Chain A
């Protein structure tokens, strides 16, 4: 059953700092949810409730925010979350092929988690990296760009071994000229 989550004194102090940055408490919903997700690993209904009570913002509103962003996880999720972009630019460059390849490799469908809890797969909307399509993002962090099957094989291997993907620099063409 759902665990009960709480913020300790240190968390509350951090949250207070976040709240103070904004004119209204409602504006602090995003960073506080982010903070909570960092701590608990997801933003399931009981986490939403906790954030709602802490901020005194209606619970329904928190649910709206969490469900709007694919970056917030509405339920406990795998250790590595692969957000494959299937929005326009990635789609035309083979985003769905990459997604389906991952589905095949992991034996799960988009929106599911592998039985060992290692990987979750999501199909997401534009992550603002259209220039490097097709691409995916690993657990709200590193982007893996210009995806190919080989690149995906390597990524899965690395992640299983506990190795984070490298940061790939993709300079803009005009900057490339200079370097």
Chain B
């Protein structure tokens, strides 16, 4: 097998590749800025320089030349080489800053150059704390700067587009953002203008940076030059918790991180998942933070008679639902599952009402034909259409639903989290004749039409799985506490600095951001009051039950989803094409 010697240590490699990526894969450290594994390699920052050489081969003898100690004679390249663009070669010898003073000095000098015109405004910069420039300067940089002159000034706080703001002084011209629009999103909206110490990224004259993937440039910018209009100045990164999750705004289900502070989701960023979204996600998915924080249904809302909805206790909500169920025949109950709700919630809905004798379960897919782009934005607007399908809910469109209501005249309608009135031709009048329960995360036109609204958890508050348009099942982890969960007790939740040290008596944390809601399955368990022991105590149990009973889900567990970044299910129908 070909070999390479890095800092006098021997490594073997199989695939051809670049030295920097090989080092990163092997856990070795080397500073770099412009390189990104999913973009082309311009080698423009020069930070990854190493000393590289090849053994001298004696063609006549057919052997490597050796010195008097019997060691191979190495011929080094005359200049230091950029490791990011250097191909691995059999017998290659690499010296990094660990074994070569020149490399060490060169790295520090390069950083001194990069920092010459950098404003060093870390105390007010959003990137501080997660900034490669800050980290690498700390690790590899010079102690100070010898530059005593006035720094070059460039435009600041430029609104490049609706979601991205540029501070040109902080930019180190790595061109990652430009390459992203050229190579990944392919909108070609950015370029570097001017040259020398005056250059910075810009759009064409009069154009706005409205790329539907524009916020990815904020993630990959190695400094604070590009910041998110929404997240700017909202929190220091070290005060936040980071929780793995899934994009619930679209059928692709990009893997995400939810960043919370004091139980508010402040931003959503992509999480690397080779099988789904690589390092990227659509801007639209990042807006989900608003859905998690704002306009939430908190505490059950009941409409006595024809009046306004009023808040009521969970006890009363449970008893009222049970009463309504008792009152009617199973045939008079219409159950509508939801592609916006998880596999577990849909399953428990089905299980509970099956036990009450209901035999038909429906759902209305949420597909907007033509809205997808074939990349990370799908026509499907819901995260779990395939999951509901796999649970054998019958797929109907809104016209069929209206017909079911008009002809069947159901006395009780139960809608799992789905704003059917807001997004389809269903109207309030259609629901008027029946007693309607809506389990919802946010207030909507549909909840307004309901007789009883049960507040349920969002993907940011529960552990649950979703099956994306390609049939891949992925799961969420709770990021945000509800009134009934606690990160100190739920070991799956992460604890940030503020969660550890904040108290209600300082200004760091409060209870006001915790919503009075429970997972939909948990409400259904509570409805089953006759049982001595609850049917399920966790969504994990529900998933295990699904895995045992549904062949499509065989072998699916949360552990496997975590380890394998989601599991590809073998579904009969996984394409978007057949959706309504």
A interface residues (Cβ-Cβ under 8 A, vs B): 45, 48-49, 52, 58-64, 67-68, 125
How far, in angstroms, from A68 to B191 measured CA to CA in the complex?
Answer: 11
Contact residues in A for B205 (Cβ distance below 8 Å): 45, 48-49, 59, 63
Q: How far is the CB of B164 from chain A (nearest CB, A)?
A: 14
Write the nearest CB–CB distance from B194 to chain A, whole angstroms: 5
For the complex, give the distance between the alpha carbons of A68 and B173 in Å. Answer: 14
A59 touches B204 (CB 8 A): yes
CA distance A64 to B201 in the complex (A): 9
Of all chain A residues, which has the CB nearest B186?
Answer: A58
Most buried by A among B191, B195, B196, B202: B191
| Cα distance A62–B189 in the bound complex, in angstroms | 11
Chain B interface residue number, banded? 10 to 19
Closest 6 CB pairs of A and B: A58-B188, A64-B191, A45-B205, A59-B204, A60-B191, A67-B193
- Name the one of A45, A58, A60, A67 contacting B194, with C-beta atoms under 8 angstroms: A67
Bound CA span A59–B190, Å:
9
Residue contact B191 to A63, C-beta cutoff 8 Å: yes
Contact with A along B180-192 (1 / 0, CB 8 A): 0110000011111
CB atoms of A60 and B195 under 8 A apart:
no
A interface: dominant SS: helix
CB distance from B205 to the nearest CB of A (A): 4
**Please, which residues of chain A bring their CB within 8 A of the CB of B188?**
58, 60-61
13 A-B residue contacts at CB 8 Å? A48-B204, A52-B204, A58-B204, A59-B207, A60-B181, A60-B188, A60-B190, A60-B202, A60-B207, A63-B204, A64-B193, A67-B194, A68-B194
CA of A125 to CA of B181, assembled, Å: 30
Alpha-carbon gap, A62 to B61, bound state (A): 55
Give chain B residues whose Cβ lies under 8 Å from the Cβ of A60.
181, 188-191, 202-204, 207
What residues on A are CB-neighbors of B195 within 8 Å? 67-68
Interface hits, B200-234 → A, CB 8 Å = 202-207
Q: How far is the CA of A39 from the CA of B530 in the complex (A)?
A: 88
- Complex contacts, A61 vs chain B, CB 8 Å: 188, 191
B503–chain A nearest beta-carbon distance, Å? 50
Set of chain A residues within 8 Å of B204, measured between Cβ atoms: 45, 48-49, 52, 58-60, 62-63
- Please measure, in the bound complex, the distance between the C-alpha atom of A107 and the C-alpha atom of B440, giving whole angstroms: 71
Beyond the given pairs A58-B182, A62-B204, A68-B194, 7 more chain A to chain B contacts, judged by CB atoms under 8 angstroms and listed by A's residue number, are A45-B204, A45-B206, A52-B204, A63-B204, A64-B191, A64-B193, A68-B195
Chain A residues with CB under 8 Å of B190's CB are 60
Which B residues are CB-close (under 8 A) to A63?
Answer: 191, 193, 202-205
**Distance (whole angstroms) from the CB of A8 to the closest CB of chain B:** 24
- The CA of A49 and the CA of B206, in the complex, are separated in Å by 11
CB distance from A93 to the nearest CB of B (A): 21
Which chain B residue has the least Cβ–Cβ distance from A44?
B205
Q: Which residue of A lies closest to B198 (CB)?
A: A67
Most interface-central of A59, A60, A67 (chain B CB within 10 A): A60
The CA-CA distance from A81 to B428 in the complex, in Å, is 71
Kindly state the separation between the CA atoms of A67 and B194 in the bound complex, as whole angstroms.
5
How far does the alpha carbon of A63 sit from the alpha carbon of B192 in the complex, in Å? 9
Which of chain B's residues have a CB closer than 8 A to the CB of A45? 204-206
Residues of A with C-beta under 8 A to B181: 60
Q: How far is the CB of B378 from chain A (nearest CB, A)?
A: 26
Point out the residues of chain A lying under 8 angstroms from B196, CB to CB.
125
The distance from the CB of B499 to the nearest CB of chain A, in whole angstroms, is 43
User: What CA separation (Å) do A62 and B181 show in the bound complex?
Assistant: 15
Name B181's closest neighbour in chain A (CB-CB).
Answer: A60
CB distance from B211 to the nearest CB of A (A): 11
- For A67, list chain B residues within 8 Å (CB): 193-195
Which residues from chain A contact B194 at a C-beta distance below 8 Å? 67-68
| Contact code string B528-569 (vs A, CB < 8 Å = 1, else 0) | 000000000000000000000000000000000000000000
| Across-interface contacts of A68 in B (CB, < 8 A) | 193-195
CA distance A61 to B194 in the complex (A): 12
Give the distance in Å from the alpha carbon of A125 to the alpha carbon of B189 in the complex.
Answer: 28
Q: How far is the CA of A67 from the CA of B195 in the complex (A)?
A: 8
Q: What CA separation (Å) do A52 and B189 show in the bound complex? A: 13
Query: What is the distance, in angstroms, from A60's C-beta to the closest C-beta of chain B?
Result: 4
Separation in Å of the B345 CB from the closest CB of chain A?
A: 45
A60 to B188, CA, bound (A): 7
From residue B417, how far is it (CB to closest CB) to chain A in Å?
Answer: 42
Complex formed: what's the CA distance from A172 to B189 in Å?
Answer: 46
The answer for the CA separation of A162 and B191 in the assembled complex, in Å, is 39
B202 contact set on A, CB distance < 8 A: 60, 63-64
Task: Pick the contact of B192: A49, A58, A62, A64 (CB < 8 A).
Answer: A64
Q: Which residues of A contact B206 (CB under 8 A)?
A: 45
Q: Which residue of A lies closest to B203 (CB)?
A: A60
Expressed in whole angstroms, the minimum distance between the Cβ of A155 and any Cβ of chain B is 27
Q: Write the chain B residue with the least CB distance to A63.
A: B204
B-side contacts of A52, CB under 8 Å: 204
Complex CA–CA separation, A60 to B192 (angstroms)? 8
CB distance from B76 to the nearest CB of A (A): 31
With the chains together, A63 CA to B202 CA distance in Å? Answer: 9
Bound CA–CA A52/B181 (angstroms): 17
In Å, the complex CA distance between A48 and B188 comes to 15
Which of B182, B189, B205, B206 is packed against the most chain A CB atoms within 10 Å?
A: B205
In the assembled complex, the Cα of A128 lies from the Cα of B189 at a distance in Å of: 33
Report which residue of A61, A64, A67 has the largest number of chain B beta carbons within 10 angstroms of its beta carbon. Answer: A64
Which residues of chain B are near A58, meaning CB under 8 Å?
Answer: 182, 188-189, 191, 204
**In the assembled complex, how far is the CB of residue B465 from the closest CB belonging to chain A, in whole angstroms?**
41
Chain A nearest CB: distance from B204 CB in Å? 4
CB-defined contacts of B193 to chain A, threshold 8 Å: 63-64, 67-68
In the bound assembly, the distance between CA atoms of A59 and B182 in angstroms comes to 12
Interface centre among A49, A52, A63, A125 (most CB of B within 10 A): A63
B207 / chain A contacts, CB cutoff of 8 Å: 59-60
List of A residues within 8 angstroms of B182 by Cβ: 58
Q: How far is the CA of A156 from the CA of B482 in the complex (A)?
A: 78
Q: How far is the CA of A68 from the CA of B194 in the complex (A)?
A: 4
Report chain B residues within 8 Å CB of A59.
204-205, 207
Output the residue of A45, A49, A59 with the most chain B CB within 10 A. A59
A48 to B193, CA, bound (A): 13
Question: For the complex, what is the distance from the CA of A64 to the CA of B194, rounded to whole Å?
Answer: 7
CB neighbours (8 Å) of A64 from chain B are: 191-193, 202
Separation in Å of the A73 CB from the closest CB of chain B? 14
The winner among B194, B204, B206 for most chain A CB atoms within 10 A is B204
Q: Least Cβ distance of A72 to chain B in Å?
A: 12
Q: Which residues of A contact B192 (CB under 8 A)?
A: 64
Q: How far is the CA of A135 from the CA of B190 in the complex (A)?
A: 35
When chains A and B are docked, how far (Å) is the Cα of A63 from the Cα of B188? 12
CB proximity of A47 to chain B, nearest CB, Å? 11
- The complex places the Cα of A68 from the Cα of B206 at a distance, in Å, of 18
